Amino acid sequence: MNSEEVKQKFYNRYYRPDEKVRVYFSPGRVNLIGEHTDYNGGFVFPCALSYGTYLVCRKTAEPVIRMATTNFDFSLEIPIDQLENKIGEEWVNYPLGVFNELVSKGFNPGGIEMLYSGNIPNKSGLSSSASIELVTAVALNDLYNLDIDRIELVKTGPAAENNFVGVNCGIMDQFAVGMGKKDHAIFLNCDTLEYDLVPIQLEGYKLVIANTNKTRGLADSKYNERVSECQKAVQDLSQGTPIGYLAELSSREFFEYQHLIEDPIVLKRARHVITENERVIQAVMALKAGALEEFGELMNASHDSLRDDYEVTGIELDTLVEEGRKIKGVIGSRMTGAGFGGCTVSLVKDEAIEIYIEKVGPAYQEKTGYKADFYVAEIGNGASRLQNK
């Protein structure tokens, strides 16, 4: 569905086609390497995708906010003085969370009609939630002339999830969605928010995303449990060296103090974060040097650590990775996103893409019972306004 089609659906729903609307778009994201490091103050390396979430909206004179989407049946009509109320586990909590964060900063919303339409596979781990949050934040900033700095807008996303939705996420997803640039990935320090836009030059290779199509949900998954385990590791390690985040430690420092962590499960979680953080740095250096095979090896090591130490993969993701690595021309494959389902990302030689899909798809379905979907990733720009009527 394109912006014109979404706009027509907006008028079909809300009427008054003579009145101007504004159209916004916010991408999804894929993380190339650096998983579960963001909320640990570490490095990540995501990029924005060419598909994402459209938002068509206009201000009204009524003191009511109306939200609907082409993706789900649930819609919302809520008075502007009741925005602080969470609505079960519905999708509208993501934009409502953004409204609440902006209200806490002094924003006084008026009436507005909003229609969302996304082409990111739902619960795929490609950040449909962050896409919804950022398209909402960018639209409100533009519609109401709030003049909020882009990075401050980005911060409203994780704040909305932490404070309103109930997911203890980091900032990576929203940063990639809000700050992405076509044909670039973002080397981001999630502690300081310092970042570098790195050109993606794959020279004969493509990034291929494989969706497990296994339904997943962060708020009711073990995601928050992993966050707590990492916080416990910080507490234990701080007995020997004061730290605020796991990623403050180098692997040498971690191995010096790891004996302070008594719980073997917590130790495994911390080991993944420390080693993954260093893999991101190595991967960015390899990509800048054109060492694609080294980059692929680091992708493989990342997945293995997420499988063995962080334990967030599962049979679906592991099967896609294992079957993908059997294909000649696949030099790296790993899960991407929070895990517990979702997607893998693989670095595949151009001429091997067709056979990769032909071989991996049936093998995956035979083993898991799910049918995988495959996408050749196109790297796009961050959230923005597209047009006026």
- The number of CA neighbours under 13 Å toward the Cβ of 316 is 21
Selection from 146, 118, 103, 96 nearest residue 24 by Cα: 118
Identity at 199, one-letter amino acid code: P
254 vs 248: CA distance, rounded Å: 9
Is there a catalytic annotation at residue 147? no
Q: Among all chains, which residue has been given the structure tokens 């953004």?
A: 98
Catalytic position from the list 173, 236, 309, 318? 173
Hey, what are 216's tokens?
A: 């997943």
Q: Among all chains, which residue has been given the structure tokens 């090591």?
A: 301
Q: Among all chains, which residue has been given the structure tokens 């430690």?
A: 249
Strand (E) positions, the chain?
22-31, 43-44, 46-60, 64-69, 76-79, 111-118, 184-189, 195-199, 205-211, 330-336, 343-349, 373-376, 384-388
| DSSP conformation letters of 132-178 | HHHHHHHHHHHHTT----HHHHHHHHHHHIIIII-----SHHHHHHH
354 vs 31: CA distance, rounded Å: 23
Q: Can you say whether the dihedral through the CA atoms of 257, 262, 263, 265 is positive or negative?
A: positive
70 vs 340: CA distance, rounded Å: 26
103 vs 292: CA distance, rounded Å: 46
Indicate the SS3 state at residue 135.
helix
Strand-strand pairing, 64-69 and 111-118:
parallel
- Catalytic residues, by residue number, are 173
